[in-house]
Amino acid sequence: MKSPLLSLPGAVPAEGVDEGVAAHYGDLFREQRALADGTGFVDLSHRGVVTVTGADRLSWLHLLLTQHVSDLPAGRATEALILSANGHIEHALYLVDDGETMWAHVEPGTQEALIAYLESMKFFYRVEVADRTEDFAVVHLPAGSIAALPDGVAVRETAHGRDAFLPRAELPAFAGTHGPAAGLLAHEALRVEHHLPRLTFETDHRTIPHELGWIGTAVHLQKGCYRGQETVARVQNLGKPPRRLVFLHLDGSEVHLPAHGTPIHLAADGPDGRKLGFITTSVRHHELGPIALALVKRNVPVDAELMAGTTAAAQETVVEP
């Protein structure tokens, strides 16, 4: 869905999966600094919004999600995954229950497949699942923001800020009173800085939760059965996920950032070395310079000097091998 905030001065549209909102508004680093200082907001109105209502919503979702939500208190934010039967990540949900409705925002364009799966699992439970993307827009307020939100708006608050489910018709007025607007590139730079994985960016068709550090934030290891739990339990007990997420400091002398999928290899092996992983997200940070997240094989030494294509990369451990 195309955001009305693309009409703001300096707005440059994002591309790919994030099409429909602004990549930036003319000054990427200023926008990053504003978010880091706790001011401004990010237009995430392209993200899917799904709600679940009904008396059984918490107990029902508890059976389907990787997270413990059967007694989730109203107003407490959490996140959860839906896995395949083999334990591969299919959906990532960012959740909050307001006492009557469970609200979730998900990656753009994934809500239809998510709802189809949820509908197939309703059986006799007293629940209703709805796609509210046309009615509600997600906006992100950074940590430290003191901006007030309208009464009645569902909000999920975490250490990284607040995600508000704002009525879509109120988005232009919200922008007029809560600026300055920061683009998605600024939001992505802070996401990478905080080592936060994102579905379809840090995941592929065989990604499991342990590889990305989603254990503990999106997976509850003591809850009952859910699809894919066997894989989670096996990897947890053996301690050997096949890959691990790393944070990379990239060579700042390069003009271009390595694109998603750029192969990772040992610097000692040269540009034709054996592929050990790939870049998932690369960004320019207002303080750290060019940085990236990447997935590498578990047995890559944590102190190894790496190359992302032809770009030198120094790694920091996110997920222990």
Q: Give the integer Cα–Cα distance in Å for 189 and 204.
A: 21
- 288-320 pLDDT tens trace: 999 999 999 999 999 999 999 999 999 999 999
- CB-based contacts of 153: which residues, under 8 Å, 6+ apart? 164, 165, 166, 167
- 86-97 pLDDT tens trace: 999 999 999 999
**Domain 242-320, CATH homologous superfamily name and number:** Aminomethyltransferase beta-barrel domains (2.40.30.110)
User: Which CATH entry fits the domain spanning 48-131: 3.90.1010.10, 3.30.70.1400, 3.30.300.10, 2.10.60.10?
Assistant: 3.30.70.1400
Burial class (CB within 10 angstroms; exposed 0-12, middle 13-18, buried 19+) of 205: exposed
Pick from 154, 128, 137: nearest CA to 52: 128
Confidence category of residue 270, pLDDT binned at 50, 70, 90: confident
- 48-61 pLDDT tens trace: 999 999 999 999 99
In this prediction, residue 66 carries a pLDDT of 98
With 80 as the cut, is the pLDDT of residue 12 above it? Answer: yes
- DSSP three-state, residue 231: helix
With 90 as the cut, is the pLDDT of residue 1 above it? Answer: no
Domains 48-131 and 242-320 share a fold: no
Pick from 305, 162, 174, 206: nearest CA to 246: 305
The domain ranges of the chain are: 4-47+135-194, 48-131, 242-320
Confidence category of residue 5, pLDDT binned at 50, 70, 90: very high
Confidence category of residue 224, pLDDT binned at 50, 70, 90: confident
- 180-219 pLDDT tens trace: 999 999 999 999 999 999 999 999 999 999 999 999 899 9
Q: Are 199 and 91 in contact (CB under 8 A)?
A: yes
